A and B are shown apart, each in its own frame.
Chain A
Amino acid sequence: MTTARFLKARDIAPWLEELSTAYTVLAPARHGDTVVFRDFNPANGIDMEHLSATPAKKALLPPCETLFEYKTTKTEEPPYKTAIELHPTLPEGKVLVFGARPCDARAMQIFDRVYDGNQARDPYYTARRNNATIVTLACDHQEETCFCDRVGGSPVDATGSDVLLTPLKAGYVAEALTDKGETLLNSTTFMKADGLKQEALNARHKMLEQVPDRSSFLDMERNLLSLFSDLGFWDKTAQACLSCGACTYLCPTCYCFNITDESHGDSGKRIRTWDNCMSSQFTLEGSGHNPRPTKAHRMRNRIGHKFSYYPQLHDKTLACVGCGRCISNCPVSFDIRNAVACAIQQADAAREHAHD
């Protein structure tokens, strides 16, 4: 890390206001009883205390976006041939995510491998990604539902961040990790703080010491593979699930989408929207055939994707950052940690049984 600056707590709002002229600024703020990422508005305040209920993923993948617009024209003379023009609508403008948590920032790298990787390149995502700056706030405590430490992260992990903020008394040490971050810290709002680098490091060490010593979910993609054919296990795991999909919409690493058309007379647009693999409609084919007909199939795919399929395809990186939002917001208190731990246990038992 090169530059370090100090940001007083009371200077945050004026700084973000200054940035709002050049960026769309997303920051965690109260909305009723919940904290969510919202377009920054001084009147809404900023909540730096609580983990937001929604992740920051909409900065890169909005819940709904237009891929292109189309216009149909008909010739005025018979045989009234039609012509269709397509106009792609690539996103423009810079976005700043302020107050992302380490889990949110890591999640964006999970998107990058899929949307901007060797296999495919999504021009809408790439445009947003190139124009996005991520300011991450290191966590000074873990919620009961947090488990980033078990999936390869930590409460102070800077992966995927342009700036890392470490909370100290009365303010934050801001350290730039990328050129984008350096540019951001040029603002006169900040005080020089190279002398506070050590203090920030100590504070982060202290946070890490609070992380409980518990088992990791890394390197388990093969364990889950061995349970693929055991639909009974998945049936039991998925029993309480309501298929509401809240877990997928609140998950910072879930990136599935749908594409649909909207027409208005002779013109219209093709849009993409977040979609939900826990819904029975997700894989339902036109013929009525459904390759994932039960909750058990769908749960296997969701957990399998995060802890087995994605790691197999992307250098063992899990597609779960342990933010725990799916746990704290599930209407039936489904706990993905238990499901994964059970899968490990079951696979270990099966292996031992095979050796007997």
Chain B
Amino acid sequence: MTNNPPNVYLPDMATIVEVVQETPAIKTFRVVLNSEERMRAFHFEPGQVGQLSVLGVGESTFVINSPPTRKEFLQFSVMKVGELTGHLHKLKAGDQIGVRAPLGNHFPYASMKGKNIVFIGGGIGMAPLRTLLLFMLDNRADYGDITLLYGARSPRDMAFGYEVEEWLQRNDMRTVLTVDNGTPEWQHKVGLIPNVLKEINPGPENTVAVTCGPPIMIKFTVQALQELGFDDEQVVTTLEKRMKCGVGICGRCNIGTSYVCKDGPVYTLAQLKQLPAEM
């Protein structure tokens, strides 16, 4: 098989080395490219996405949610919502999967240096934030105060539980958890993310807010951030739209002149306001 010039539609075949059941609906897949050379050369930035293939079923887009500072495998977290994700959820360690990655832009972590960071993640939207959070924790001295607000529908819908426990213990970040529906055992907050955000009241000065979650959550979180005094340039979000080609050709994921697969998925609110309201 010759690959010169590279065929943008041809996935790298990879092996699933581990599957983690995060919640009843979310599984995390740790994968290693079959070509050792390709795996060694694989370079990506926090926030970049990839297309995962189940051959015979199709492809869909997921963020690479391991940070570039930890390179033993590439990690993707998948919520079971449809046909492809249903098939992905049947895969086990040792199974083969196609990977087209990395695609798109990344979080502007360089321009965030020296600033306070507020992460606001909802449900599976925690996955891309996790990448940047781990990257910043691995380069902790470069950043100011780090606050994480992570919300899910219920306690059992919170992914990355093993890490959340660790984050709660750390004294170099503040972690606030909330659920829409609590249980008697739930020790943390109950309430919608935008309301809890207003309650914890992060100051906008020298701060960047990074948010990802369902579109409706992003909409009201952005409103809450504006009420708290955050400017459009201080709000960063990541959009994972339905994509096919992943390289800005097929025309499915554009918002006006911007193609989420190559110009995104990471945008500031200021950038999004220049585009038609099609989030």
Starting from the known contacts A258-B250, A277-B251, 19 additional A-B residue pairs (CB-CB under 8 Å) come to: A83-B96, A86-B10, A86-B98, A122-B8, A123-B8, A228-B256, A229-B276, A257-B250, A263-B56, A263-B57, A275-B252, A284-B242, A286-B81, A287-B214, A292-B278, A304-B256, A305-B251, A308-B257, A309-B256
In the complex, what residues of A have CB within 8 A of residue B248's CB?
114, 119-120
Number of interface residues of A (CB under 8 A): 55
In the complex, what residues of B have CB within 8 A of residue A282's CB?
252
Q: How far is the CA of A292 from the CA of B9 in the complex (A)?
A: 26
Docked-complex contact A256 and B10, CB < 8 angstroms: no
Q: How far is the CA of A295 from the CA of B221 in the complex (A)?
A: 28
Known contacts A255-B251, A257-B245; is-contact A121 B5 (Cβ 8 Å): yes
Q: Does A268 reach chain B (CB closer than 8 Å)?
A: yes
Counted as pairs of residues, one from A and one from B, with CB atoms less than 8 Å apart, the total is 133
| Secondary structure dominating the interface of A | mixed
Docked-complex contact B13 and A260, CB < 8 angstroms: no
Q: How far is the CA of A297 from the CA of B278 in the complex (A)?
A: 8
Name A residues whose Cβ lies closer than 8 Å to a Cβ of B: 67-68, 70, 72, 79, 81-84, 86-88, 90, 114-115, 119-124, 228-229, 255-263, 268, 270, 272, 275, 277, 282-287, 289, 291-292, 297, 300-301, 304-305, 308-309, 312-313
29 CB-based A-B contacts, threshold 8 Å: A67-B10, A70-B55, A72-B55, A81-B94, A84-B96, A86-B1, A88-B7, A88-B9, A90-B7, A114-B248, A119-B247, A119-B248, A120-B249, A122-B9, A122-B249, A256-B250, A256-B251, A259-B244, A259-B245, A261-B57, A270-B55, A275-B251, A277-B252, A283-B252, A284-B242, A286-B85, A291-B241, A309-B257, A312-B257
Docked-complex contact A115 and B249, CB < 8 angstroms: yes
Interface string of B18-54 (1 = CB under 8 A from A): 0000000000000000000000000000000000000
Known contacts A79-B94, A275-B252, A301-B254; is-contact A119 B262 (Cβ 8 Å): yes
| Secondary structure dominating the interface of B | loop
Q: How far is the CA of A67 from the CA of B245 in the complex (A)?
A: 11
